Structure 1
């Protein structure tokens, strides 16, 4: 497989940041969204057949505003996917399938982190972090771990390999030098036990092209990623975040979300300013087979002119949609039912990875 000369990490090699690359905010213009078609029954035990209508409607919504690239294992999976996409009226001229097999569907975490540098002869690159299925929880993950290499070869762009474990859902950026993450995830010994917090920060700075790291604490109950930021707090512009709060003091999420909100008020952006903070409610607890599921309205996905929000047939659905719509006045905001998808312990943001222009 053809890879660019920057694909191998070596002593003294310039980092993406040194070369002028940075990871754009999700609200910056996209060329495409990358997805990995769901097929692992163990991720939705007993329910995988129920998720395809919602997933297909997600693809349909994306294809109306940008290219959609979908990783599949073979022609049979492509045909299966096409059938479901046709059933909801997807514009298939905007959908591109790739024979890049995966173990699972969570492209936010196993997909590449696309970087840009408009001043470079190669204005786009990507980072191929190591992927270990959230601390080795769900083997095998060997196919997922190769997806960034496949995409780098397909796009014929540089591929940086820092050699440490990192997942796309664990970080959030504002596109101006600030990155938001959680200690619960990045400092978990099941990821990079050989690294200190300050060493992890250096990797974030070097490979995402940032200089200001903001740390929150714990994630929500049921989140098997050990506290991904994309279920908690999301940038909607350069200085504003939406953050989830729990108003029921008896709920297990009440205390950690309150602590995170307190931290957000103390933290400062790269320019020294305070964050503008918009609070977003949580849905009522969703329990399936005695398991609390990590349902969160913060797991929305920002596409060109569009924001797709997971809904849960909950009383707070409409309120959440209204709040998110007010935060994105230039974009259409739609809700898609995620009640079956969340049985897989993730929703639309977990399933997708943006490629900037």
Structure 2
């Protein structure tokens, strides 16, 4: 690993963040071990669902697992063997970690399509506005992955979470005002300056803003719970049909904003309305259950389901949104108690 010697920005040097459907070499995960996120017996309850997630990804690509220590690595190997995961598809980095949400604290992989080079952007991480200290070990994760892979790394010097942005691979980035403009992230930066960082370090041409996120989302409104690209000009946008539901107004506001947006070529977004699950309430807590928190991987599209009346409807709609890709519904009722799901837990490494 070396600090990038780019005389300019990654964008100026031809690098960009590819769409999630771009072929992966691997998907990176930070294995959960901290009971602060899944308290009491909930950590043990969620692990079977998490291990099934690893197995599903490994059917089409490698899985890089960041394990807190050698003891945890041994535990992971034993558990994966029990469910017949091909251990040749599993890679490990041993380093201390704080939490499991690799989408937000993990590396952001950029590629140069011309030279076939790959690099890592090491954004700062402050646990969603300082909500869950300590987070210093997680903040060191991108550089540990860069060192393991022998990739150059660059640090923009601002707070940025992978779940707060989504990409179409053709120059457009989607995000939310409630998160990226929140004063608990980068209070010294204006919207215009934040956009410049997005252009320069993600290699995009356009930033589109929705307003807010869903109830139960402690990230202040990550985009990966509400709106996702499925191809260069098509999105799935979460909607709530029940006017009395807490998510109705915000999702309707977002939808109207999306309808007014145009891509750089002037084209309107194709919008597929994706229903929310009926409120996923566990022990009186409204979790941020959302079908939009899917992961696109080589094996297919891994979709969280919640033993919910709307599961089948969402699976069918996503099947239409991703023609030719396998839809892989996986139970996430225990995982969602930690206030995130499959996309939040993972970060893809493109193949070059």
TM bracket (short chain): over 0.9
Residue in 1 aligned with 2:242? 248
1:215 matched to 2:213 = no
1:268 is paired with a residue whose SS is: coil
| Structure 1 gap segments, 5+ residues each | none
Residue in 2 aligned with 1:76? 71
Q: Deviations over 1:121-171 (max 9, x none)?
A: x71001000000000000000010000001111111111100000000000
Residue in 2 aligned with 1:104? 99
Q: For residues 270 and 332 of structure 2, what CA distance do their matches in structure 1 show? A: 28
| Structure 2 gap segments, 5+ residues each | none
1:325 CA displacement: 1.0
1:266 CA displacement: 0.3
Q: Deviations over 1:213-248 (max 9, x none)?
A: 100001000100000000000001100001110000
1:310 CA displacement: 0.3
Q: For residues 313 and 118 of structure 1, what CA distance do their matches in structure 2 show? A: 41
Residue in 1 aligned with 2:49? 54
Residue in 1 aligned with 2:60? 65
1:32 matched to 2:30 = no
1:289 CA displacement: 3.4
1:113 matched to 2:108 = yes
2:271 is paired with a residue whose SS is: strand
1:283 is paired with a residue whose SS is: coil
* Cα 1:5–1:136 shift into 2, 3 Å: closer
Residue in 2 aligned with 1:346? 340
TM alignment of 1:203-282, pairs within 5 A = 203-282=197-276
Bigger mean CA offset, 244-253 vs 81-90: 81-90
Contact 2:300–2:326 (CA under 8 A) maintained in structure 1: yes
1:250 is paired with a residue whose SS is: coil
TM-score by length of 1: 0.96
CA RMSD of aligned residues (A): 1.1
Contact 1:52–1:84 (CA under 8 A) maintained in structure 2: no
Residue in 1 aligned with 2:2? 4
1:78 is paired with a residue whose SS is: helix
Q: For residues 227 and 189 of structure 2, what CA distance do their matches in structure 1 show? A: 25
Contact 2:3–2:154 (CA under 8 A) maintained in structure 1: no
1:93 CA displacement: 1.1
Q: For residues 291 and 205 of structure 2, what CA distance do their matches in structure 1 show? A: 28
Q: For residues 153 and 143 of structure 2, what CA distance do their matches in structure 1 show? A: 7
2:134 is paired with a residue whose SS is: coil
TM alignment of 1:161-172, pairs within 5 A = 161-172=155-166
Bigger mean CA offset, 34-43 vs 72-81: 72-81
Q: Which of the numbers 271, 284, 297 marks the counterpart of 2:291? A: 297
TM-score by length of 2: 0.97
Contact 1:130–1:165 (CA under 8 A) maintained in structure 2: yes
Contact 1:106–1:350 (CA under 8 A) maintained in structure 2: yes
Q: For residues 168 and 40 of structure 1, what CA distance do their matches in structure 2 show? A: 21
TM alignment of 1:300-311, pairs within 5 A = 300-311=294-305
1:154 matched to 2:148 = yes
1:291 CA displacement: 2.1
Residue correspondences, number: 350
Q: Which of the numbers 321, 324, 339 marks the counterpart of 1:327? A: 321
Q: Deviations over 1:30-59 (max 9, x none)?
A: 111000101011101121110111111110
Residue in 2 aligned with 1:18? 12
TM alignment of 1:121-136, pairs within 5 A = 123-136=117-130
1:176 matched to 2:170 = yes
Q: For residues 60 and 177 of structure 2, what CA distance do their matches in structure 1 show? A: 35
